[in-house]
Amino acid sequence: MTIRNNLRQTVAGVPNPKYDLFIHQQTLFKFWSFIGKYYQGELLQNTDLLHTTLREFTDFIKPRNPKLVEGLELISTITNSELQNVIFDYNQLFIGPDKLLAPPYESAYCSPEGLLMQDETLAVRSFYFKAGLEVSNKGQIPDDHLGLEAEFLAYLLWNQRISLEECTVGDNDAGTFQQMYSQFINQHIITWIFDHCNDVIKHSTTNVCRAIALIMYGVLDLEKHCLV
């Protein structure tokens, strides 16, 4: 990955603030991409790959709060038998057929009824639309499924990086993506993600799902303090 001049760590000997932002966004991008794939059901067919990916978290996520510490530690304790059982754990948390122990939908936590396809779903749909996107199976899969929301956030971060890298139209484009990212996190993630992570931590039967929830909690805990 080539880093252009404007993204060098120092420029003419002076630390480049855009570089810190760049690295921060890279971390978040890796994180949200992972969450998107995980909640959309990928990475579960190949548990070795899942395990490898999780172990790499320690490379790029610094344990800056208790939840992150605990989550990263848990990853090192994951056993083979747990990996075998991760699919059952995942299903009883997020899929079914029984009542979901940790429904991965914003409206399940935020709507006054705990129902799906409510006002929150439609607010998320408008947000995607503003960014020029919509759900591939619109109307059938709720727009506020965490897998989709995570994919959306990764999409915003990706485009932000491209803008930063290629310096397109000055800084404005990167700024727009940054703004959309902050807004989405504040309006549609912070409002429910901690309850969701707590449900996973409470009900999970494998350290795999639990670790991911702890890390997500930890990352969002940091994010909510950083964002204005």
Paired residues of 145 in beta bridges: 105
Candidate residues 21, 83, 100, 190; the one interacting with other proteins per rule CB under 8 A: 100
**Which CB, 66 or 179, lies closer to other proteins?**
179
Cα angle 163, 217, 158; round to 5: 15
Least Cβ distance, residue 107 to other proteins (angstroms): 9
By the 8 A CB rule, do 214 and 74 touch? yes
Establish if 190 lies at the interface with other proteins (CB under 8 A). Answer: no
Closest by CA position to 50, among listed 26, 77, 75: 75
User: Is 184 a residue that touches other proteins (CB under 8 A)?
Assistant: no
Subset of 195-224 contacting other proteins (CB under 8 A): none
Residues 87, 93: Cα–Cα separation, whole Å: 10
Q: Is 129 in the site for other proteins (CB under 8 A)?
A: yes
Stretch that binds other proteins, among 61-69, 75-83, 148-156, 206-214 (CB under 8 A): 148-156
Shortest Cβ distance from residue 20 to other proteins (Å)?
18
Binding mask 70-99 for other proteins (x = CB under 8 A): -----------------xx--xx--xxxxx
Torsion of CA 119, 122, 124, 127, to 10 degrees: -130
Q: What count of residues does the chain have? A: 228
Q: Which stretch binds other proteins (CB under 8 A): 11-19, 62-70, 72-80, 149-157?
A: 149-157
Which is it for strands 14-15 and 10-11: parallel, antiparallel or unpaired? antiparallel
Look up residue 52 and give its amino acid.
T
Q: State the Cα–Cα distance between residues 205 and 88, nearest whole angstrom.
A: 9
d(CA 177, CA 175): 5
Contacts to other proteins by CB under 8 A = 1-2, 26, 29-30, 33-34, 36-37, 40-41, 43, 49-50, 52-53, 56, 59, 87-88, 91-92, 95-100, 103, 105, 108, 110-118, 121-122, 125, 128-129, 131-136, 138-141, 145, 147-148, 151-152, 154-155, 158-159, 162, 165, 173
